[in-house]
Amino acid sequence: MHAYRNDRLSVERSTSLRANFDDFVLANDDLDWSAFVHMRQAIRALRNHYAAMHDVMSKNWSVIRQPRNDDHMPLMY
């Protein structure tokens, strides 16, 4: 997020110096759009990871709450 703010500041500074060039305005819009897309992808990835973790934990909730072994020894050894 810090890099986005620095990039946006430099584009805004260039836009204020050269207000008659539309390329700087379009560059600002493009920077905003790319930041939005990256943020949306990160939020979707976070949602998918959470959903997968919730699915695994909900399927194994009974094993998590009450392990099969009463003497608390590992099941494999």
What's the pLDDT score for residue 31? Answer: 87
Q: Predicted confidence band at 62 (pLDDT cuts at 50, 70, 90)? A: confident
Residue 77 has pLDDT above 60, yes or no: no
| Residues 28, 33, 14: CA angle, nearest 5 degrees | 10
What's the pLDDT score for residue 54? Answer: 94
- pLDDT tens across 1-59, in order? 678 888 888 888 877 777 777 777 788 888 889 999 999 999 999 999 999 999 999 99
What gap in Å lies between CA 32 and CA 8, rounded to an integer? 8
Residues 6+ away with beta carbon under 8 Å from 15: 21, 24, 25, 28
What's the pLDDT score for residue 76? Answer: 58
Domain locations in the chain? 2-64
Q: Is 60 helix (H, G, I), strand (E, B) or coil?
A: coil
